Amino acid sequence: MTQTTEREQRFEQGKAVLDAIDGVGGANVVDALADVSPELAHQVVAWGFGDIYSRPELEPRDRQLVTLGMLSALGGCEPQLEVHINAALNVGLTPKQIVEALLQSAVYCGFPRALNATFAAKKVFAERGLLPIV
């Protein structure tokens, strides 16, 4: 198998994971990168999703939980939070669990990060008709 074929194979594997988890949100990111940094799009898919995300050592649901923690803490990642809050719903986390995880971020990252992340969640929940969370 040539190196190019291997590269394509890793991309295809990652694309399947990305589509299953992130749905249209992930595909939109890949499309938006096509004319500026197709290599970054390739690496997000082939490495981030193909090599790392698809490893069986951690359940997709658990990966989303830990990822929500990271994105809340980093700050300035609202677009990525929206993608991953959608993903978290897709892999079985409930809105209540997501909201609670972001409440937990108040303890470790402070209220501003928790508020920004919770408003990103509100936007996603509204788009999916999940409000109010009770």
Q: Which residues bind a second copy (CB under 8 A)?
A: 1, 3, 6, 29, 32-37, 39-40, 43-44, 47-48, 51-53, 55, 57-58, 62-63, 65-77, 79-80, 96-97, 99-116, 118-119, 121-122, 125, 131-133
Nearer to a second copy, 53 or 86 (CB): 53
Question: Least Å distance between CB 90 and a second copy?
Answer: 17
Question: Least Å distance between CB 89 and a second copy?
Answer: 14
**Cα separation, 62 vs 81, whole angstroms:** 16
Residue-wise over 39-59: b if at least 16 C-beta within 10 A, else e?
Answer: eebbbbbbeebbeebbeeeee
Cβ partners under 8 Å of residue 51, min gap 6: 10, 14
